[in-house]
Structure 1
Amino acid sequence: MGAQNEFMRASDAFSWYQEADPAMRATIVSIVWLDRSPDWERLVERVEAATRLVPRLRQRVAEPPLRIAVPRWETDEDFDLSWHLRRTSADTHDAVLEAARIEAMTGFDRARPLWTFTLVDGLQDGGAALIMKMHHALTDGVGAVRLAPTLFDTVPEPEFVPHPGEPGRANGGALLPAAILHTAGQLTGLAREVVTAAGPAVWRLLRDPVGGVRTAWDTVQSIGRTVAPVTDIRSPVMRGRGLGRHLHVVSAGLNDLKHAARTTGVTVNDAFLAAVTGGMRHYHHKHDAPVDELRVTMPVSIRTATDALASNRITLMRFLVPVAEADPARRMRLIDTRARSARTARSLGFTDAIAAGLDLLPTGFVGGMLKRVDFLASDVTGVPVTTYLAGAEVTAHAAFGPTMGCAANLTLMSYAGTCHIGVNLDTAAVPDPPVFIDCLRRGLAEVIAVGGVTP
C-alpha cells in the first residue's frame, strides 16, 4: 500500500515547495456528512488500522539541504494518533463549513504526517460530520477515493479485523547521503531512458523522416505550452489574491448532469466545466465586466493501477474556456474539444521531468505564474453506493481543493447518485461569495436544462 521511506516524486515535491507561500498551500479538505455520530471507539480503531495499511499516513517530510534531492518521506517515530484524529462539536452545518474553512487556511505541522481528521458531532438535526484534511503531496482526489475502503464500509455493521502488521520500518539511512544517492540514481535512470528510447525513435525517423520530425516537433510544442509562463490574469474582476477563503457546496443529481452530457455528446466533466464557465459568465456580467475567455487549470490524472494509494498522480494542464458563449450546449462542445486536447497532450508523458525542472526555479517565480490563472476545476468520480463510517451512514461527501493561487477552486465529487461541487473561493478575488454561488447555480441549471430536466 505504499513504499516506506521513499523520496517524493518531482510532482509531489512541486506542491510541497509551494508551501513557502501561504497563499499557495496545497491543502485538500473534504467533509463527510453523517446521519448520526459514529461509534468513537470503532472510528479510532479503524483509523489506527488505516495507518498500518497505508504507512504513508505515519510518515513526515524530511527535506535535504539546498534541494540536492526531492524531499523524503520518513517514518514518524513519535506518531501520535490522538493528535491526528480529533473530536469536537457544533450546532449547525454552517458551523461545520466554518470549521473546514479554518482548516483550509491553516498550514500543516511540518514535524508530523500531513493529515488530520476531525469528527464534529452534536448537530441540531442529530447528524455529524468528519472533516478530513490532507496535503496534496500525500494524495490526490482519485487516490483519496481509492483510500476510502480502508475507513468506510458498504454495510452498517461489518466484520472488521484490525490489521496486525507493524506500522513502519526504521528510516532508510542518513538523509544527506541518501539524497545524493537518490539524485545520482535519478540521473542514471533518466540517461538510461533516453538511450532506450533513442533506438526506436531513430528507426522511426529513418522509416518516416517527415512523420518522425513532425512527431518530435509536436512533442516539443506540447511541452512548451505546458511550461509557458502565464503573464496576465484574464478576468477583469477576480484579480485580487489573498489568504482568506470561503467554502460552500452546490449539489445536483448525477443522472441529470449525465443526461445533459449525453444529449450534447460530451463527458460529465465537460458538462461540469461548462456549468462552472456559465457561472463565471453570469458573475462577470453582474459586475458589468463581460469577458471572452478565462484561463482554467484542470488536473489530469495519470494514475495507474500500480501507483500507491498515498501518492499524488496528477498533472496540471492550463487552457482557455469560452466564457462569452451563452448557449450552454455549444459551450459544452467547445469545452469538450479544448479539454480533450489537454487530456491527450504529448507533454503528459514528461510530467515528472517537467515538475523536476520547475522544482529548480524560485518558489516565488512559479507561484507568481500560478496566481495569474483565473480558476481551477476538477472532477472526481466518487463512490456510487451508500457507505458507512463506524456504524453511521454517509449522507454526502464534498471535497474542497486548494486554490493554489487561483481565484477559485471548484471540485465536483459524486457520491451515491449526487454531485457535490465543493467551492473554495479566495475572498480577495471574490469578495461577494453569495453572488458567486448564485451565479454558479444559474450556470449549473442552464447545463442541466439541456438534457430536458428542470433543476
Structure 2
Amino acid sequence: MADGQPFIPPSAVDVDLSAVGWAQNRTMSDFETGMWRMEEVRPELRTPIVAVDVLDRAPDWDRLVRAHEWASHIVPRIRMRAVEPAFGLGNPVWSVDPEFDLDYHLRRVRLPEPADLDHALRICRHLATEPFDKARPPWMAMLIEGLGDGRAVYVVKTHHSITDGMGGIQMMALLHSRRPEPTPDKPDRAPAPPEHLSDLSALGLEVLTEVRRAPSRIADLVSGSARAAITAVTRPFDAAGEVLDYANSLRRVIQPPPATGSPLLRNRGLGRWFGVLEVELPVLKGAGHAAGGSVNDAYIAALLGGFRRYHEELGEAVGKIPMGMPINMRAASDPSGGNRIAAVRFAGPAAEPDPALRIRKVRAIVLALREEPALDIVEAASPLLVRLPTRLLAEWYLSQSKGLDLQASNVAGVPVPVYLAGARIERMFPFGPAPGCAVMATMVSHVGTCCIGVNLDTAAVTEPALFMQCLQEGLDEVVALAGAAKGAEG
C-alpha cells in the first residue's frame, strides 16, 4: 500500500468507544468470504497476517493479559467467530463465541538460552503456518521470552478476513500505549454477550441482510443507469469514450504482467521462512528523492535489486520480475477493520543494474497503475466470483498468484514511541501472507525506522539465507544514493 500517511495511535484514555467500528458489519464481504473459503481446498492460499513486535524487555504478563481482555471489550470482533450459513447460501456471519477463552488465544513461551531474534522468528513462522481453528475467533498472540540480550518478542497472527494491513495497525494500536505506566482510567465497556448462532440462524441473518440491501442496491442501479442514459443521449461521444477508456483500463489491470516467472522460483509449497531488514526512514526517503522517486519507489527498487543479485549468485540470468502490489483504498471516513485494498500487477525492472534508473522506472510504472479506472475490479467482481464453486475459485486465484514472484506492500506505521505492558517496542516487523507467490515483502515505518518483513516460500526460494543477504545488498545500493546525493550537496 504505497506511501501511506503515518498512523498516530490514540492514548488509551483518548479512545472514542463510539468510533471503534470493528463490529458494524456482521457479515463478511464477498472479497473476505473468498479468502476465508479458498484455503479449505487449497492450503497454499492461507492468508495469515503476522505482526512481530521486538521489545526492549519482557513486558509485565498480568498487564499484557489485562490489555488483551480490555481490547476484547473495545473491539467485539476479537471475541467473534465466523459462522457459515446453512447449505453455504450466503457469506459467513460474525458471531460472539459463546466459549471465548483468552487463554487459548494468548500464549507465552520461553526460548532455551542462548537465543536471539532468529530463534524467535522461527517460532513466529511456525505459528504463522498453523491453520486457524475456524470454530474459534481467527487470531492468535504469543509472548516469546528468553532472548539472550534480555529482549522479548510479541507476535500476533490474524486471518486476512478480519482486516487488511492498515486495519491490523489500527487494531494493534489498542494494545500499545504512548507511556510505559499503566492507564487506570481508560474507557471501558462490558464485553459483548455470548451468542449461540447456528448455521440456520446465520442463513436467516443473511436473508435479512440481503433484503435490507436490496432497496439501496436498486436505487444505485437505477440512478446509475439513469445517469448513463442521460449521458448517452446528451453526450454520446463522451459516453462511448468513457466505456472505451474503462475497457482498456480493465484489460491492463486483469492481464498478467508482461513477464514470465523466474525458473529459479517456479515451485510453490507450504514451507515458509521469515527474514527481516531495516533502514532509517529519512535515509530511504533521501535515496528515493535523489533518484526522483518516493520512499516506496526506493523500497521496491531495493527488493528488485536483491532479486537480481540472487539470480547472479546462482548463475541464472534475470529479466523482468512479475510482481504485485496492494494499494490502500481506505478513505478517512472508513470504519476500522475490514479490507479496503486493490491490487496492481506489473513487470518489475529487476535486470536494471543502475539503482537510480531502477527507482525512476518503478515510479513511472506505479504512478500509471494507480490512476487506472478499473483498479478496484477484483472487489467489484467479488459478488460474482464468490458465487463460483469454491474449488473453481481457488484454482483460478492460485493460477493468478502463482505467476507472481514478488508481492510488496508498504503500510503506514507509528511515528511515536509506544509501549506494550511497560516494555518499549523497538521494532515492528510485518509479515504479509504469501498465497501462491514466491516472496511477500511488507514494510512498516516505526519511529523513524523502516521495518521490512520478508515471507519466503521455501519451495521457491531454496536458499533463504542467501536470498536475504542479496536483499540486504540491494537495499545497501539504493541507500548509497542518499549518501552520494548528500555528499554532492556538501
TM-score bracket for this pair, using the shorter chain length: over 0.9
| Amino acid in structure 2 at the alignment position of 1:421 | I
Cα distance, 1:143 vs structure 2: 1.0
CA contact (8 A) 1:60 1:110 kept: yes
Q: How does 1:197-208 map to 2 (within 5 A)?
A: 197-208=224-235
| Amino acid in structure 1 at the alignment position of 2:396 | F
Indicate whether 1:310 and 2:337 are aligned: yes
Indicate whether 1:396 and 2:423 are aligned: no
Q: Alignment partner for residue 260 of structure 1, among 278, 287, 297? A: 287
CA contact (8 A) 1:68 1:183 kept: no
Q: How does 1:356-367 map to 2 (within 5 A)?
A: 356-361=383-388, 362=392, 363-367=394-398
Q: Alignment partner for residue 462 of structure 2, among 392, 410, 431? A: 431
Q: 1: distance between equivalents of 2:285 and 2:78? A: 35
Q: 1: distance between equivalents of 2:90 and 2:250? A: 23
Cα distance, 1:438 vs structure 2: 1.4
Indicate whether 1:71 and 2:92 are aligned: yes
Moved more, 324-333 or 339-348: 339-348
| Amino acid in structure 2 at the alignment position of 1:34 | L
Moved more, 436-445 or 282-291: 282-291
Counterpart residue number, 1:85? 106
CA contact (8 A) 1:140 1:314 kept: yes
Indicate whether 1:325 and 2:346 are aligned: no
Q: Alignment partner for residue 371 of structure 1, among 399, 402, 423? A: 402
Moved more, 79-88 or 258-267: 258-267
SS of corresponding position for 1:249: strand
Cα distance, 1:266 vs structure 2: 1.8
Superposed CA offset, 1:3-52 (max 9, x none): 35711112212221222221111011121011111111111111111111
Q: 1: distance between equivalents of 2:133 and 2:93? A: 16
Counterpart residue number, 2:122? 98
| Amino acid in structure 2 at the alignment position of 1:450 | L
Cα distance, 1:453 vs structure 2: 5.5
Q: 2: distance between equivalents of 1:184 and 1:231? A: 43
Cα distance, 1:208 vs structure 2: 3.7
Counterpart residue number, 1:448? 479
Q: Alignment partner for residue 17 of structure 1, among 37, 40, 50? A: 37
Q: How does 1:199-238 map to 2 (within 5 A)?
A: 199-228=226-255, 233-238=260-265
Q: 2: distance between equivalents of 1:95 and 1:452? A: 33
Q: 1: distance between equivalents of 2:92 and 2:253? A: 24
Q: 2: distance between equivalents of 1:330 and 1:347? A: 28
Indicate whether 1:52 and 2:83 are aligned: no
Q: 2: distance between equivalents of 1:448 and 1:391? A: 34
Moved more, 272-281 or 155-164: 155-164
Superposed CA offset, 1:378-416 (max 9, x none): 001110111111111111110111111000101111111
Q: 2: distance between equivalents of 1:366 and 1:167? A: 38
| Amino acid in structure 1 at the alignment position of 2:95 | E
Counterpart residue number, 1:156? 180
Counterpart residue number, 1:292? 319
Indicate whether 1:418 and 2:418 are aligned: no
Q: How does 1:335-374 map to 2 (within 5 A)?
A: 335-361=362-388, 362=392, 363-374=394-405
Q: 2: distance between equivalents of 1:97 and 1:178? A: 41
| Amino acid in structure 1 at the alignment position of 2:35 | S
Q: 2: distance between equivalents of 1:185 and 1:317? A: 33
Cα distance, 1:155 vs structure 2: 1.3
CA separation of 1:41/1:317 partners in 2, compared to 1, >3 Å: closer, same or farther? same
CA contact (8 A) 1:4 1:74 kept: no
CA contact (8 A) 1:243 1:426 kept: yes
CA contact (8 A) 1:26 1:404 kept: yes
CA contact (8 A) 2:124 2:155 kept: yes
Superposed CA offset, 1:278-306 (max 9, x none): 11111222233223211111111111233
Q: 1: distance between equivalents of 2:384 and 2:123? A: 37
Moved more, 153-162 or 140-149: 153-162
SS of corresponding position for 1:240: coil
CA separation of 1:453/1:111 partners in 2, compared to 1, >3 Å: closer, same or farther? farther
Q: Alignment partner for residue 161 of structure 2, among 116, 137, 142? A: 137
Q: 2: distance between equivalents of 1:76 and 1:448? A: 48
CA contact (8 A) 1:358 1:366 kept: no
Moved more, 156-165 or 277-286: 156-165
Q: 1: distance between equivalents of 2:25 and 2:291? A: 48
SS of corresponding position for 1:174: helix
CA contact (8 A) 2:72 2:191 kept: yes
Q: 1: distance between equivalents of 2:380 and 2:133? A: 29
Q: 1: distance between equivalents of 2:259 and 2:210? A: 35
Q: 1: distance between equivalents of 2:322 and 2:53? A: 31
Moved more, 368-377 or 185-194: 185-194
Cα distance, 1:315 vs structure 2: 2.0
Q: Unaligned 5+ residue runs, structure 1?
A: none
Cα distance, 1:165 vs structure 2: 1.6
Q: 2: distance between equivalents of 1:331 and 1:67? A: 48
Q: TM-score, normalised by structure 1?
A: 0.94
CA contact (8 A) 2:145 2:151 kept: yes
CA contact (8 A) 1:246 1:433 kept: yes
TM-align CA RMSD: 2.3
| Amino acid in structure 1 at the alignment position of 2:167 | G
CA contact (8 A) 1:46 1:162 kept: no
Q: 2: distance between equivalents of 1:44 and 1:437? A: 35
Counterpart residue number, 1:147? 171
Counterpart residue number, 2:8? none
The alignment of Structure 1 onto Structure 2 pairs a total of residues equal to: 455
CA separation of 1:306/1:167 partners in 2, compared to 1, >3 Å: closer, same or farther? farther
Cα distance, 1:56 vs structure 2: 0.8
Q: TM-score, normalised by structure 2?
A: 0.87
Q: Unaligned 5+ residue runs, structure 2?
A: 1-19
Cα distance, 1:252 vs structure 2: 0.9
Counterpart residue number, 1:112? 136
CA contact (8 A) 2:139 2:159 kept: yes
CA separation of 1:388/1:146 partners in 2, compared to 1, >3 Å: closer, same or farther? same
CA contact (8 A) 2:125 2:274 kept: yes
CA contact (8 A) 1:26 1:135 kept: yes
Superposed CA offset, 1:218-250 (max 9, x none): 223333444446898521210000011110101
Moved more, 30-39 or 173-182: 173-182
Moved more, 3-12 or 34-43: 3-12
